[in-house]
Amino acid sequence: YKVSKSCGGPMMRPSLLLAILGVVGNLASAFSAQSPPITSGCNISKINPFAMVGSRNYVCRSRGGELKGATSPQEESKCPMRKLTLLLSSLYGTGGVMYILAKAIRRVIPIALEPFSDGAVPLSQFQLCAYVVTVLWFAYVEGYKGFQTKFSPLVVSRSLTLEPGYSSFHHYLLAPFYSMGLFHSTRKRMAVSWGVSLGVFAIVHAVKKLPYPWRNIVDAGVVAGLSWGCLSIAFQYIKALVLGKAPADPVLPRPKSD
């Protein structure tokens, strides 16, 4: 887009910026609520990829295709193929979400840094203050409250529920979206996940219509929030593997009664 030579702009531009910040705050609040209590339909014993699942029997296939038969709980945890499959499945789910965020950061960061590049119209003192405040606001509301306290634990916990022989094939195929709670979850969780995703999509298109430097200011905040979120997902995933404990309730649907 062409950079406007006028840095002041009418009062409508900062007001539109504040309106977008308010919408983002409302969307982030959907992720910042406290985690619901773990329901009886959720088997947390399978969250840890390296934990034993005593209530299930697994079959470990040896070389040549011969089945060794059902194993005991002690033998289950020693099955190398099961451990590897659990680790790769959770890594694909969590890593896929991180890849989506990293791709968005890479696309937006040049716009966020444009006001500081050579040849760009310099920011006024008011615009520079707005730049700093927006970055801090997005880092707290989107990065900390939205990602770190709710969305990141959800992604990690759901990715760790992908289990060979029990998870459907499309759960593996669409593991990043499964980890985000877009399907195979409670109705409330899916409504929140889809609502936030569509809301963010709408905000992205609205931000593109902002003139210079307000689009750059908002994109700088987006970079801060997404970067915080991406790092929090990585940290909580590693922490879950080390401690063997899921960071939150994966919000799986209740099993259907017979």
Distance CA 196, CA 154 (A): 14
Distance CA 53, CA 74 (A): 9
Closest CA to 176 of 77, 83, 82, 103: 103
pLDDT of residue 43: 44
Mean pLDDT of successive 10-residue stretches along the chain, which has 258 residues? 43 52 51 43 45 39 40 54 86 96 95 94 96 97 94 96 86 95 94 90 88 96 96 96 92 76
Residues 6+ apart with CB under 8 A from 195: 27, 30
pLDDT of residue 56: 42
Residues 226-238 as b or e (16 or more Cβ within 10 Å = b) = bbbbbbbbeebbe
Whose tokens are 């770190």? That residue is: 148
What are φ and ψ of residue 16, in 5° steps?
A: -65, -35
pLDDT of residue 4: 44
Q: How many CB atoms lie within 10 A of CB 21?
A: 17
pLDDT of residue 24: 53
CA 217 from centre of chain: 23
pLDDT of residue 108: 94
β-bridge partners, 112: none
pLDDT of residue 15: 53
Domain ranges of the chain: 14-51+80-243
CA 247 from centre of chain: 14
pLDDT of residue 230: 97
Structure tokens at 31: 């992720």
pLDDT of residue 77: 52
pLDDT of residue 131: 98
Output the furthest CA–CA distance in the chain (Å, rounded).
75
Closest CA to 83 of 193, 241, 211, 215: 241
The pTM (predicted TM-score) of the whole model is 0.72
